[in-house]
Amino acid sequence: MRSLLVLFAAAALPAFAEEQAEPAGVEPQFVRPLVPVAAGRNDSNPVWSPVGDMLAFERSRGDDKEILVVRLNGDMVQTIHQQSPPAQGQSQFFFPGVVEQTSYNSGISWSPDGKRFVFMSNGGEGNYDLYLREQDGRITRITSDKEKDGHGHWSPVHDRIAFISGRSGKGDVYSLDLATKTTTRLTLGEQPYLYPQWSPDGKRLAVIRGSNENHDIYVLEPGRSPPVPPRPFSTWRYDDLRPVWSPDGKRLAFYTNYNPAGDPKVWAIAVVAADGSDPTEGEGLAARVVATDVVPDVERGPAWLPDSRRIAYVRDERQAYNPIYIADVDSRASSLVRTGTKMNHDITCSPGGLIAFRAQVDQWDQVYVAKLKD
């Protein structure tokens, strides 16, 4: 499911405080490609298993997109190129170059034990549903609505998956209990929702809600009785995208295109308290910006480090080939990470503090792994 995010903004708010000078860059202990560098395919969106021993990522070849599961040492575990079997009575014959099935697989989210994951696929047919990769590598389809299902996120504490579906007419949030196979609708279609993210304790969901012109951050509490409405965490006219909980569950980081110049193409990272006590607009929310000139990664969101104090991000510096920085949330200081890679994107951090990211080599995207110094 590809969200239609048109990145617009509106009137400017008060300017940021004057930025501090950047500290000197830091050298990581190592930087290496996860698998051998090769041309002819683009690798992207790495996702760490919860114990940090494996990475699942997406590989594009033409219009097809596969999912690869790889151990940290580069050993291949599995390649997923989902093709649904033909319907009963139908034959599955295709003529390469004339009529072909396109298999599109993406949107990986691991189970808490790191033995399974959920992902989105069209099964080579065209309609997007959620699929489950079992511990033994078997693939099972777990939704089958005629409308698109995607943006699945596995609860950190339950066999429960939050996802977005168009079955209600708009993008609404649903929850699928894998044990009972029960699907529960969590929102009522006021506006489209996207990218649900469970809190570390599995009690809340951070989402974005809005139209192509403006998205805001909301938090749902599915287990509350009686039910409570979604709580807004941003309400201004700027576009706010992809909230991610800190590992300790105390803060939320998200992208915003608020900036003093009012330029809708200039992005930042804001961090707010997860209890909703911070302002949702104006100077109060502007003061929660911790990094500016950021390349937003809508598929992954801001990459928290395990200490819940730092965030890895890509800076929008084309002359420096979009380098990686680490922002200290409390001091607002950022440090350059000297990876030696170019056109970086898709940063994610393991529970042990390793970072994985996408970088370009001879115009082809490759997945790299780096270890920061303690």
CA 336, 17, 310 angle in degrees (round to 5)? 35
Domain hosting 171: range is 30-84+101-371
Check pLDDT > 90 for residue 182: yes
148 domain-assigned:
yes
149 domain-assigned:
yes
Tell me the pTM. Answer: 0.89
Give the model's pLDDT for residue 9. 33
64 domain-assigned:
yes
Give the model's pLDDT for residue 24. 66
Characterize 88-115 residue by residue with b for buried, 16 or more Cβ atoms within 10 angstroms of its Cβ, and e for exposed: eeeeeeeeeeeeeeebbbbbbbbbeebe
20 domain-assigned:
no
11 domain-assigned:
no
Over range 256-264, report the average pLDDT.
Answer: 96
C-beta neighbour count of 340 within 10 angstroms: 13
Percent share of the chain, pLDDT over 90: 80
C-beta separation of 338 from 28 below 8 A: yes
Greatest CA separation found in the chain?
A: 69
The strand pairing partners of 80, in sequence order, are 67
344 domain-assigned:
yes
Check pLDDT > 60 for residue 18: no
What amino acid occupies position 249?
G
Q: What CATH code is carried by the domain that includes residue 145?
A: 2.120.10.30
Check pLDDT > 60 for residue 26: yes
107 domain-assigned:
yes
Over range 73-99, report the average pLDDT.
Answer: 65
89 domain-assigned:
no
C-beta separation of 34 from 368 below 8 A: yes
How many domains is the chain partitioned into structurally? 1
C-alpha to C-alpha distance for 170 and 6, rounded to whole angstroms: 17
